[in-house]
Every structure is written in C-alpha cells, then in structure tokens.
Amino acid sequence: MRYGIEDAPEGKRLLWPQPPEVPRYLFSGQLTGEANFVRDDGGQSRVGSFFRWLAGVMSGDEQPVVLQRPQSGMVDESGRVMVTDVSRQAVFVFDEPAGRLQLWERADARQGFVAPSGIAAAPDGGVWVADAQLALVAHLDREGNPLQPVGKGILRRPTGVAWDATSRRLFVADAYAHEIKVFDVAGNLIETIGRRGDGPGEFNYPSHVALAGDDLYVTDTMNSRVQVISLTGGAPRIFGERGLYIGNLVRPKGVAVDSEGNIYIVESYYDHLLVFNRKGQFLMPIDGMGYATGKFYLPAGVWVDSRNRIFIADMFNGRVTVFQFLGGGAENAG
C-alpha cells in the first residue's frame, strides 16, 4: 500500500525527531474522507491510494463526504479504520480491504448518533460507540447495524470506552459523573471506579481510556494528568502535571499505548501529541498548532493499530493524521 509522502525522496520525508537525531516517527498520510479513495479508468476504487496525503479534487456538483470534527477511532481486525465524527454525527468507516467509505449513523433502532465520541472493538467484529449527548454506549455489529445499547439511565456523559476481550468487560469514562463505569457484555453495571477529587484514584472530568495489558489508562482531563489503574490491584500510577512547557499536561484528551510500551497523549491545549515511556517519563513532542501537514488544531483522540501506526483525530483540521513508529526505542529520543 502506498501512503503518499512515503513515496517522496528521503530528504523530503517528515520525520520526528529531525536528523541528525535518530528519527522515531514518520508521517505516513492522512484521512479526510472520499478523497482517500480514487478511481481508475475502469471506475474501480484503487486501494493503493487509500492513504493519499493530498486530498483529491471532486468533479461536478457532488459534495464530497469528508470528516468534519473527528473525535476518536480504532482499527479493527480486518484493517478498517473507524472514526467518530461529532459534527457529522456518524462513524466513518474507511474500509481499505473493500476500497470504500461507509457512514454508520444509527445509535440504536430508534435514533441516530448525536455526539459520538469514544469507540472500541466489541465481540464478533462489532464496535462500542459512546455518545456523550445520548448518554449511552451504542453497540453495533460488524456491518454497523445497531444492537442493544449499554448504559441507558446509568451513564451521564460517556466519552471514552475500552473493551477488555479477556475479561469481557467494557470500561466507560463517564465525564459528568467523574468516574469509570464497568459493564459486562450484557450491559449490566458491575463496578464503578473512582469518584470526584484530585487524589489517587479520583477523577475530575475523565475523558478518554485505553487498555494495555492489565492496565487501564485514564486521561484525568481537568486534573491535568493521566492515571494508570492496575486491573489486578494496587495503587494507581500517576504522571503529568500542569505547566507552561512542552511536555506538561493542561487539557489531556486521547491516550494510547503501542506494542513497545510508548504512551501517546493528546495535549489539546497546546496542540501537541506527547510521547512518554512506560514509566511516564516525557520523551518528545510531535509538532504543535497549525494547518500544515503534520500539525494539529485542537486534536482529540489518538489510537494505535497492530502495525504501530499512530492515528490522531485532528479535530478542527477535519482530518486524521497518521504516523508510523519506526521502532528502535522512542525511549532514547529527545
């Protein structure tokens, strides 16, 4: 598959950090909508141009289907990239294997999405989608058909979701309740984690969650930190602090962890993607506010796929930016 800028000469690639330091991240492309799928002379979609980093030009009077305010996303086992969009009130499904773009708009059988936010894999190839305004977590099958939602009458403002396939538990960041609610696959509330406060294990508007091994990562947004909750017991680990410098957390949002234990946090106030090691030590930033390729404007979610590609929902730029972790230990970057 061709990612666009990867085809550029070596000297023109966007890398972080820049030489002479050893690069750890490569800009791979961006998702915007229909422009990621172009057609050949026979009218067939060419998957090879899936991650074109320059948007194509639409012909005629057709209005392209494009991302407007992307919030978060995931990549499923078949390689489909799914992105929630709060302005379009839908889940965008960038289906690379099929060479098509789909929009899933139904939260359940009776209503459409209003403010879709967090998204996570669900059993049997489906997805969970938190809708902050509807105060529920939608459950969709692998084709986007709505099943029975979770959390009606229990959740106040769900934003982030994470699914533990091993224990078959769904973790939901309920921002207005200042806690993490845990449901079983049938939708029963089985546990509540935390309460409002600024002590260990307490939250102030938690917004995003991610699972890595036996740890649940929670962006404790208004406490300007990330808490790592061990699912096997023990005190939470806490890192991040308010400040004026790059690497400080002011309004952290999305959080994700790659296969080497690097932790990615969206710092929405400073428009940065920050990289930390598994101990919570700051390693490096990836760019800042702007409209140019590789920069961000009020980013929201971040997620990592099985190939260690890092996806950032660049909300006010209306796109998803994709980086490839090059390996070799971001721990030594700086």
Domains and CATH numbers, the chain: 65-332 (2.120.10.30)
Which single residue is written with the structure tokens 């230990």? Answer: 329
Residue 55: per-residue pLDDT: 33
Which whole-number Å values give the CA distances from 211 to 11, 215, 257, 293, in the listed order? 37, 6, 8, 29
Report field, pTM of the whole predicted structure over 0.85? yes
Residue 43: per-residue pLDDT: 53
CA torsion sign, 130 to 134 to 140 to 144?
negative
Residue 57: per-residue pLDDT: 34
d(CA 92, CA 80): 10
Residue among 30, 37, 70 nearest 54 (CA): 30
Average pLDDT, consecutive stretches of 10 residues, N- to C-terminus, the chain (334 residues): 37 82 94 82 50 39 83 97 98 93 96 98 96 98 98 98 97 98 97 97 98 97 98 94 92 97 96 96 91 92 97 97 84 50
Residue 7: per-residue pLDDT: 39
CA torsion sign, 141 to 147 to 151 to 155?
positive
Contact 67, 90 (CB under 8 A): no
Residue 331: per-residue pLDDT: 54
Residue 32: per-residue pLDDT: 95
